[in-house]
């Protein structure tokens, strides 16, 4: 991460500005470093410097309150929908890099029927080298029970707490021949410390003499740990292949991508935007009224990168197709917004989340007894044309919600969102009968991921 050493300057300016305060206010009595007061004072100190809505920050509750309550009391709700606090900073960082304790599957929850309070879970994807993959679970499988317990609209949140440890699921699988779901029995799934690779799938289709590159990317992370750029390098290799094969069209699947690190968003955007170099601006960043008083935080612009794998001008109509859902957020939306001045960004799917603000993870480096990490909103982003007004999300050019059909495998050209994109590219309507479903999304395991709705800026304050 880029480091900006402003702490001493901030303290000096703050001391001068607060000269009217008495010395007792400037030097509060020491407290037990393991106490909630110590944690809350650290929270206040960080927020007083970096919180984007500094001028609207609320009056805090008592210093003796639980840190979660203290942090929450400061936030400018409901405008601030995304600032968050976590009891363990290291778990926070691991989660942002895709490293979590889990069995390796994600799902969306639905009522079993419109007249039932029972809840079922349809698997959205299985992670590579995970217990769920070893057990043979697939996208589209329906989970009926967890540890023998039927989920309902009243209890499903409690039941889902069991999936972070060893558990058993009973599931159904659709039989294409009988066109019915069939019971597959029970499988036991262990929970392991799993490093998820966000580069889920890439392939090239040749349809009606059109070469279509397709990449599924689930979150933005440069690599599985500190300093690693393995995932970014994998993405570079994918685009090198697309370029070598002279694709005519590009489909980027962000339907489950809730965000992540800005550095990886810049990397991906630099592969897509036609012929951009480090002389072209990808995004602009705005900070609060306090930080904006420092030169380092004025007129902050993030350029594209020089990438040998950049596709150049090979895309027909200078267009990229991006598949979206209501869970497409933050760094994904940053790419949509950042590419628009340079090319035609054609969206297929659902309205995106609407997050144009970014966070920086903070830990208390001076107090080892304070394990908390906070992710306050620190920045607001715009593209090179100063466009930033997408808090209501980006509306797709073609609306398509995958919950309206049973889920087919990723990469299957009959899968709803991919099928819709291919039809738009080729002008050919899909063949075959598609059964429409009437069901409402009750939530997803993705909603509880630390990275969901996050745009993590690559700046470290010292």
Q: What tens digit of pLDDT does each residue of 410-439 get?
A: 999 999 999 999 999 999 876 666 778 878
Asked if the model's pLDDT at residue 40 lies above 50, the reply is: yes
Please, which residues have CB within 8 angstroms of residue 54's CB and are 6 or more apart in sequence?
A: 47, 48, 288, 289, 290
Structure confidence at residue 341 (pLDDT): 98
Which of 25-39, 80-94, 217-231 shows the lowest mean pLDDT across its residues?
25-39
Please, which residues have CB within 8 angstroms of residue 246's CB and are 6 or more apart in sequence?
A: 211, 314
DSSP 148: T
Q: Predicted confidence band at 22 (pLDDT cuts at 50, 70, 90)?
A: very low
Asked if the model's pLDDT at residue 6 lies above 90, the reply is: no
Tell me the per-residue pLDDT of 117-136, one tens digit each, with 9 for 90 and over: 999 999 999 999 999 999 99
**If you average pLDDT over residues 265-273, what whole number do you get?**
98
List of domains in the chain? 99-194 (2.30.42.10), 196-461 (3.90.226.10)
- Mean pLDDT, the chain, integer: 91
For residue 85, CA distances in Å to 9, 31, 73, 147, 219 come to 26, 22, 12, 30, 20
Asked if the model's pLDDT at residue 322 lies above 80, the reply is: yes
For residue 348, CA distances in Å to 96, 102, 332, 397, 421 come to 26, 31, 14, 6, 7
DSSP output for 259-279: EEEHHHHHHHHHHHSTT--TT
Q: Predicted confidence band at 9 (pLDDT cuts at 50, 70, 90)?
A: very low
**If you average pLDDT over residues 215-231, what whole number do you get?**
94
Rounded Cα gap, residues 384 and 337, in angstroms: 9
Give the three-state DSSP class for 420: helix
Q: Which of the pair, 452 or 407, is modelled with greater confidence?
A: 407
Contact 309, 243 (CB under 8 A): yes
Q: Predicted confidence band at 38 (pLDDT cuts at 50, 70, 90)?
A: very high
Q: Predicted confidence band at 236 (pLDDT cuts at 50, 70, 90)?
A: very high
Structure confidence at residue 144 (pLDDT): 93
Q: Predicted confidence band at 26 (pLDDT cuts at 50, 70, 90)?
A: low
Tell me the per-residue pLDDT of 371-413, one tens digit each, with 9 for 90 and over: 999 999 999 999 999 999 999 999 999 999 988 899 999 999 9
Rounded Cα gap, residues 279 and 169, in angstroms: 53
Asked if the model's pLDDT at residue 5 lies above 80, the reply is: no
DSSP 241: H
Structure confidence at residue 454 (pLDDT): 63
Strands 344-349 and 398-399: parallel
- 0.75 surpassed by pTM: yes
Structure confidence at residue 25 (pLDDT): 52
Asked if the model's pLDDT at residue 2 lies above 50, the reply is: no
Structure confidence at residue 439 (pLDDT): 81
Asked if the model's pLDDT at residue 17 lies above 50, the reply is: no
Segment (H or E) for 124: strand 118-126
Q: Which of the pair, 276 or 459, is modelled with greater confidence?
A: 276
**If you average pLDDT over residues 243-263, what whole number do you get?**
96
Give the three-state DSSP class for 311: coil
**If you average pLDDT over residues 79-92, what whole number do you get?**
94
Asked if the model's pLDDT at residue 23 lies above 80, the reply is: no
Structure confidence at residue 460 (pLDDT): 57
């Amino acid at each position: 991460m880029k480091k900006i050493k402003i702490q001493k300057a901030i303290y000096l300016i703050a001391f001068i500005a607060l000269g009217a305060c008495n010395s007792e206010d400037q030097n509060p009595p020491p407290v037990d470093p393991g106490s909630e007061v110590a944690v809350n004072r650290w929270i206040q100190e960080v927020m007083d410097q970096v919180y984007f809505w500094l001028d609207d920050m609320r009056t805090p509750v008592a210093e003796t309150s639980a840190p979660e309550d203290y942090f929450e009391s400061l936030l400018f709700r409901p405008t601030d929908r995304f600032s968050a606090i976590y009891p363990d900073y290291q778990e926070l960082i691991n989660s942002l890099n895709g490293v979590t304790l889990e069995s390796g599957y994600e799902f969306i929850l639905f009522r079993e029927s419109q007249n039932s309070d029972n809840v079922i879970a349809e698997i959205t994807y299985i992670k590579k080298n995970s217990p769920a993959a070893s057990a043979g679970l697939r996208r589209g499988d329906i989970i009926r029970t967890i540890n023998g317990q039927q989920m309902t609209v009243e209890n499903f949140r409690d039941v889902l707490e069991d999936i972070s440890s060893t558990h058993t699921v009973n599931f159904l699988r659709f039989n294409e021949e009988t066109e019915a779901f069939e019971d597959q029995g029970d499988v036991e799934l262990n929970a392991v410390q799993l490093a998820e690779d966000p580069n889920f799938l890439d392939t090239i289709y040749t349809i009606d003499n059109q070469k279509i590159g397709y990449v599924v990317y689930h979150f933005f992370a440069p690599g599985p740990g500190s300093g690693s750029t393995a995932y970014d390098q994998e993405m570079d290799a994918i685009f090198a292949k697309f370029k070598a094969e002279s694709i005519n069209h590009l489909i980027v699947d962000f339907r489950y991508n809730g965000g992540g690190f800005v550095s990886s968003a810049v990397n991906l955007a630099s592969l897509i935007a036609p012929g951009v170099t480090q002389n072209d601006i990808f995004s602009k960043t705005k900070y609060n009224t306090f930080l904006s008083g420092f030169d380092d935080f004025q007129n902050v612009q993030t350029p594209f990168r020089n990438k040998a794998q950049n596709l150049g001008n090979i895309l027909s109509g200078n267009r990229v197709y991006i598949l979206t859902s209501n869970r497409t957020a933050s760094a994904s939306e940053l790419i949509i917004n950042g590419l628009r001045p340079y090319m035609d960004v054609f969206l297929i799917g659902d309205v995106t989340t609407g997050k144009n603000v970014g966070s920086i993870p903070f830990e208390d480096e001076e107090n080892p007894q304070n394990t908390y990490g906070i992710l306050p909103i620190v920045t607001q982003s715009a593209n090179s044309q100063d466009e930033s007004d997408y808090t209501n999300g980006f509306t797709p050019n073609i609306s398509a919600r995958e919950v309206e059909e049973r889920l087919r495998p990723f990469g299957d050209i009959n899968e709803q969102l991919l099928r819709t994109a291919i039809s738009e590219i080729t002008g050919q309507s899909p063949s075959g009968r598609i059964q429409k479903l009437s069901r409402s999304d009750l939530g997803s395991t993705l909603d509880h991921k630390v990275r969901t709705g996050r745009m993590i800026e690559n700046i470290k304050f010292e």
